[in-house]
Structure formats: structure tokens, C-alpha cells
Homo-oligomer: A and B are copies of this chain.
Amino acid sequence: MVMEAKTTSEAKLREAGLRPTRQRVALASLLYAKGDRHLTVEELHEEALDAGINVSLATVYNTLHQFTEARMIRVLAVEGSRTYFDTNISDHHHFFVEGRNEVLDIPQNNISIHNLPAPPEGMEISHVDVVIRLREKTQG
């Protein structure tokens, strides 16, 4: 299984034009092992260490940015101090819990959007993000 993941990740990396170094293969394997997910740099770093992969935080930053440019993953449109990456590149959406800075996947995925505007000249739509911002119920 592990070998399989490694092989798949290597192929993905080559396709993306990235040299399949140990660290990149390891990080890609972690990312894709668990299906669609969103995580921060620190989370992936910790996972890597837990898995016995000695990789520096800076490398995780660099690698995730390389993966993003290679369109293997993408950045989530949530404000806040930390950057969230998402392994699901297709259009899908998120809850964002205000105050807690927490991102949740939206379970059902049949949200549809109508009357999307045309992008300005020379630009193309990379992705449409719907973020449903939540707050704890109050009687305020």
C-alpha cells in the first residue's frame, strides 16, 4: 500500500514537472493517502514528523506552494492568519466558523451558483469558492 502511494505520488510529481525527491514524495503521499482534506502547513508538518519523515517546516511551506503552482492542490479562500490548503481541486465549498478560525467541509455538495459574471479581459476563472461563514447562535 505504502509502495503504491509512493509510486502514484512519484508519477503525479513527474507529470507536474517536479523532481520526485524524498520529501516531496512523502508529503504528496500523506496528502493523498486520506482523500480530500484541507490542512495547514503546520498540520502537514506534524503529520510528517509523526510518520517518521524528517522534513523541515520551511520545506513544507515551499513544497505546498510548489504543489499549488503545479495545480495539485489549492489554497482555500478563508481569511485568517493561517493559510489552508485543499487537496480537492474541483469546485466544492466550505463552512468557516468565525472566531474559531475553523474550516469545515460542506457535507452535501449540490450547491449551485447561477449568473456567474464574466471575468475581466485577459483573465480566466481559476476557481469559484463559496464560503458559508458561521457564528454561534446568539440572541443578539
Residues of A within 8 A of B (CB): 75-79, 83-84, 95-98, 104, 106-108, 110-117, 119-120, 122-137
Contact = CB atoms under 8 A, between A and B. Distances in A.
B129 A133 contact: yes
Given A97-B123, A123-B137, A129-B131, 10 more contacts: A75-B79, A77-B129, A95-B120, A112-B115, A123-B135, A124-B136, A125-B133, A127-B132, A127-B133, A130-B131
Tell me if A's interface is mostly helix, strand, loop or mixed. strand
Given A83-B79, A108-B117, A113-B112, A134 B124 contact: yes
Given A79-B77, A79-B78, A129-B130, A136 B117 contact: no
Given A77-B96, A79-B83, A132 B112 contact: no
A129 B103 CA distance: 14
A117 B124 contact: no
Contact of A130 (B83, B123, B130, B134): B130
Given A77-B78, A133-B129, A115 B123 contact: no
A107 to B, nearest CB: 7
B131 A128 contact: yes
Given A77-B133, A84-B79, A134-B125, A106 B117 contact: yes
A83 to B, nearest CB: 6
A95 B77 CA distance: 11
